[in-house]
Structure 1
Amino acid sequence: NHFIEVSADETDAVWLFLHSGSRGIGNKIAQHHIGVAQQVTRKRGTRLPDPDLAYLEEGTSEFTRYIKELRWAQHFALLNREEMMDRVITQFGHWVGGHVRERERINCHHNFTQQETHYGKSVWVSRKGAIRAEPGDPGLIPGSMGTASYVVEGLGNPVSLNSSPHGAGREYSRTAARKTFSLAELKTAMLGIEFRATEAFIDEIPAAYKPIDQVMRDAADLVRVRHKLRQLINVKGD
């Protein structure tokens, strides 16, 4: 579901929007340290209902090494998005035949872990499919390839550990979406938006995702909406 989009807000200002993370290297790092955690758990003699619940203890060399590589991956993801956005802006300028004046850039993580203080305690917060929403934090919340996306500002709700949704979230798994929807339905759902109409993207049909407007209403105590974006062009990799 990584993408590049050209969108417009309520004032017709153009936004270039992309979604990506640390790519394959982040997954490789995670898989390696999950394996290390499982080995350590076995050596400790800790009984767990599932091997995937294995964990590393703060203060150990294994934990320190994991956090170091985790931070590297998060920084790589941030720089990766910066580089991609620089290239998108350059190509967009070529396409429109003129200079592109950048007014604002927002770059936020959506799968990450960091140490924070909540309720008076120093804790490790893992946000999976979520963004940080401290007071004033700028954020981006995409819907789907055919629905609105939002530019937001965090409200710092302590109940959510100062977090908000990263996106709409799936209503159908990829497999279920491929079985449920057709290319014709995808084309209908994407009327008015330029995209590559191929069967490879059936699992990204807007109906496979939860209604983003409802998600944003539910998140009203987590973020303030600055802009609602409508897609003009969507590019996904297959």
Structure 2
Amino acid sequence: VRQGSEVRRINCHHNYSAREHHDGRELWITRKGAIRAGRGDYGVIPGSMGNDIHIVRGLGNPASYESCAHGAGRSHSRRQAKKRFTVEQLREQMEGKAWNRDRAGALLDEIPGAYKDLTRVMADQADLVEVKTSMHEILNYKGS
């Protein structure tokens, strides 16, 4: 781990409602699984517990009410993931990462294979945010 100083603190919630102005009207915008991506807003977009994490800056696209996806999104529900994948597959997909292996059975629904491809998701929302930098995950901790 490198020594350094904080460059920017980013707080972005992905489940909330807020009163905002869009198209000259005051509206309540509810973001469920989405973050605000107003022009210049910074956000954090993770993939799964095995993928890189993107730091993005919003482009303020009015068609999306200045919003974007907060992550890759699931390709398999939690129930489907528990049926389809094995603990061994989870261990393989998390190879090279520090994670709470002793809870592998409880974390099976979070296996990286249960999520969409983050590269594709980011390409699909290129008109909503620009990727400023990406961070390679070396530690993942999932609480209960």
Range class of TM-score, shorter chain: over 0.9
Bigger relative CO (Cα 8 Å, ≥ 6 apart): 2
The structure with the largest alpha-carbon Rg is 1
Structure 1's consecutive aligned runs of 4 or more residues displaced over 4 angstroms after TM superposition are none
- AA matched with 1:208: A
**Aligned ranges 1:1-238 → 2 under 5 Å:** 101-197=5-101, 198-238=104-144
SS of the aligned residue for 2:88 comes to helix
More strand by share: 2
Aligned length: 142
More helix by share: 1
Counterpart CA distance in 2 for 1:101 and 1:224 is 24
Counterpart CA distance in 2 for 1:215 and 1:149 is 12
SS of the aligned residue for 1:236 comes to coil
Counterpart CA distance in 1 for 2:80 and 2:37 is 32
SS of the aligned residue for 1:231 comes to coil
Q: Deviations over 1:18-46 (max 9, x none)?
A: xxxxxxxxxxxxxxxxxxxxxxxxxxxxx
TM-score after normalising by structure 1: 0.57
Identity %: 48
Q: Which runs of 5+ in 2 are unaligned?
A: none
Q: Which runs of 5+ in 1 are unaligned?
A: 1-12, 15-98
Give how far 1:101 is off.
Answer: 2.8
Give how far 1:123 is off.
Answer: 1.0
